Amino acid sequence: MALSTKNILGTKELTQSDILQILDTADSFKEISTRAIKKVPALRGKTIINLFFEPSTRTRTSFEIAGKRLSADVINISGSTSSTVKGENLIDTARNLEAMSPDILVVRHHCSGAAELLSQFVDSPIINAGDGSHEHPSQALLDLLTIRSHKGDLKGLKVAIVGDINHSRVARSNIRAMQTMGMKVRVVGPPPLIPVEVERLGVEVSHNLAEAIKDVDVIMVLRIQLERQNQGLLSSLREYSNYFCLTSETLAQAHDDVLIVHPGPVNRGIEIALDVMEGPRSLILNQVTNGVAIRMALFYLLLGENNANPN
C-alpha cells in the first residue's frame, strides 16, 4: 500500500494509516542496522540528494546512513557549498539539481515553507528535513517509533512538550502527528515561548513544569537556544533552568514509567539535568537509532515498494 502523499512535507499531511505504515516499515528495517554487513540492495541505482541550507550533523548523517544502508547513492550539498552563496535562488538551485535526475530531494532550510515551495517547482519527491519553525516530520515520526516501541500502543497516551514551542518545528510536527494518532498533547514553557492561539490546535498549555508532567506518559524536552535571550524572549538561561529544567526532583512528580525524549542536541544542565538525560527513563539515544530506521522507511515507501526489494 502506498502512502497518501508523494512528498513528506509535514506530519499535517499524513493520515493515521500513513503513519502506521511508516512506523511498521521502520520497525522491519531496524534489524538491518544490527547486521555485520549493514546494507540491502533495495534502492540500488537510486540517487538521493541531501540539500541542507542550515547546519546539521545528526539529521543529515541520519538521512545519509539511511540512504546508504538501502544502497542508494547519497549526495550531500550544504548551504555554504551551494550556489546560493553566489546569489542563486532556492528554486533555481533545486531545479538545477533536478536536472541531474535525483530520485529524492531531502531539504533543510531556515525558512518556514521552503520545502512546500520547492515541491511546487520540482517533480522529484521531497522530504522536509526541517523548514524554519514549521515542520520536521521525520523527527516526529522517529519520536513516535521510539514511544511506540516502549508503550506498545500510541492511542490515549499523554505527552508534555517542554521548552521553546514557539520556534520549534519539532513541536509542531509532533503536535500534529500525535493528535492524528489519538494522543493528548500539553505544551509547557514560559509564555513568551508559547505560540499565540496555540490552544486552537487542540493542545493544553501550562507554565508549571512540575504540575504539567504529573499525569503524562511521555515528556519531550526541547533544546533551548541561546539567541532567545538576546531577542528578549528569555530573561536568562539561568532563570529558564530554574523553572523549566527537567531535574530528578521535578521528575519525582511524574509516573514511574514516564518516558523522556529530546530531539537533540542537548544543552546539558539547561533544559535537562545530566543525571536525567543519562538516567533509565531517557530514550535519547534510542531516538537517534530509530531515526535511521524511520528515514530508511521514508525512502523506501516514497520510491515505491514495487521497484524496491527490502532484502
Partner 1 sequence: MQTLIKNGQVIDPANQIDGSFDILIDNGKISAIEPQGKISGSKLKEVPVIDAKNCVVAPGFCDMHVHFREPGHEYKETIETGCASAAAGGFSTVAVMPNTSPVNDNRSITELILSQAKKTNLVNVLPIGAITKGLKGETLSDMGELKEAGCIGYSDDGKPVMDSELMRRALEYSRMFDLPCIQHSEILDLTREGCMNEGIISTELGLKGMPVEAEDIMVFRDICLLPKTGGRLHVAHISSGGAVDLIRQAKAKGLPVTCEVAPHHFTLTEEACRNYDTNAKMSPPLRTHEDLELIKEGLRDGTIDIIATDHAPHDLADKQMEFSKACFGIVGLETALPLTLKMVDEKVITLQKAVDLLTHQPSRLFNLDKGSLGIGKDADIVIFNPKTQYTIEPEKFKSRSKNSPYKGWKVRGKILHTLVAGKTVYSADNK
Is there a contact between 89 and 53 (Cβ–Cβ < 8 Å)?
no
Member of 91, 210, 233, 270 binding partner 1 (CB under 8 A): 91
186 binds partner 1 (CB under 8 A): no
Residue 162: phi and psi, rounded to 5, are: -115, 130
Rank residues 91 and 266 by Cβ distance to partner 1 and give the closer one: 91
What does the alpha-carbon distance between residue 145 and residue 293 come to, in Å, rounded to a whole number? Answer: 9
169 binds partner 1 (CB under 8 A): yes
In the chain, what is the straight-line distance between the N-terminal and C-terminal CA atoms, in Å?
18
Q: Which stretch, 39-47, 104-112, 142-150, 251-259, contacts partner 1 (CB under 8 A)? A: 104-112
Closest CA to 210 of 249, 264, 263, 266: 249
263 binds partner 1 (CB under 8 A): no
Member of 26, 122, 198, 209 binding partner 1 (CB under 8 A): 198
What does the alpha-carbon distance between residue 65 and residue 239 come to, in Å, rounded to a whole number? Answer: 39
Q: Residue 100 has which C-alpha cell?
A: 541531474
223 binds partner 1 (CB under 8 A): no
Q: Residue 275 has which C-alpha cell?
A: 543525571
Member of 20, 82, 132, 247 binding partner 1 (CB under 8 A): 132
What does the alpha-carbon distance between residue 64 and residue 75 come to, in Å, rounded to a whole number? Answer: 8
What does the alpha-carbon distance between residue 175 and residue 144 come to, in Å, rounded to a whole number? Answer: 11
Rank residues 148 and 169 by Cβ distance to partner 1 and give the closer one: 169
54 binds partner 1 (CB under 8 A): no
The one-letter code for the residue type at 198 is V
| β-sheet with 204-206: strand ranges across | 204-206, 184-188, 158-162, 218-221, 259-261
What does the alpha-carbon distance between residue 220 and residue 259 come to, in Å, rounded to a whole number? Answer: 8
Whole-number minimum distance, CB 89 to partner 1, in Å? 6
With CB under 8 A, what is the number of residues at the site for partner 1?
A: 23
Member of 108, 109, 148, 281 binding partner 1 (CB under 8 A): 109
197 binds partner 1 (CB under 8 A): yes
123 binds partner 1 (CB under 8 A): no
Member of 54, 103, 131, 164 binding partner 1 (CB under 8 A): 131
79 binds partner 1 (CB under 8 A): no
Among positive and negative, which fits the CA dihedral 227, 232, 238, 243?
negative
226 binds partner 1 (CB under 8 A): no
Member of 16, 155, 182, 201 binding partner 1 (CB under 8 A): 201
Interface residues toward partner 1, by CB under 8 A? 89-91, 109, 111-114, 116-117, 131-135, 169, 172, 195-198, 200-201
